[in-house]
Amino acid sequence: MNLQRPLLLASNSPRRKELLSSLGLTYEVLVKDVPEDFPAHLKREEIAEFLASHKADAYVTDITNHALITADTIVCLGDRVLNKPADYQEAKKMLQALSGTHNEVITGVCILTREGKSVFHDVTKVYFKRLTEAEIDHYITYFKPYDKAGAYGIQEWIGMIGIERIEGSYFNVVGLPVQKLYAKLEELEIIAAG
């Protein structure tokens, strides 16, 4: 894989770093603290795309010949957005709400270059079995999912024992829709095969 320009990842997420590395891409990490507030009128996919684009805005002056990738993942239960839980009780309430139903994981991605922005998203449906209170308590106690939207990581224990099936990209749920990202990087001629 040939990079046509240097790649920056604006994320400290170990999962996003691992996924980008697994694509065979070299990149540097550049992280700024950007508020994750969004206008109240936005819905679902609009929120994910807004947050990814908003994060990219903080890096406009850092971009010379680079391509910068920002992303934001949200979990939706119907029209309700489940953010990162603040504490044990909030994580428990989220997992109880997700138990026995399906949620949608939406990741918004922004690729910023000096030529402009390309913003897109991917949606994956995640179906949970009915979780017991003991399973929820075990997961929160040992895995502390306070840095995860919806209070769960599909790649962790709760995903192994609790998720019956998904519709869409697994990697999108992990935090980066790598297939769509790869295609977009090719389309923008940021990467070239061979």
- For the record, the structure tokens of 169 come out as 């990209």
CA distance 9 to 71: 9
- Is 137 among the residues known to form the active site? no
Nearest partner of 13 among 155, 169, 162, judged by Cα: 155
Strand segments, DSSP code E, in the chain are 2-3, 7-9, 28-29, 67-77, 80-82, 102-113, 116-128, 163-167, 191-192
DSSP 69-103: EEEEEEEEETTEEE---SSHHHHHHHHHHHTTSEE
| Cβ(131)–Cβ(100) below 8 Å | yes
- Per annotation, catalytic residue among 33, 37, 72, 122: 72
Q: Which residues are designated catalytic? A: 72
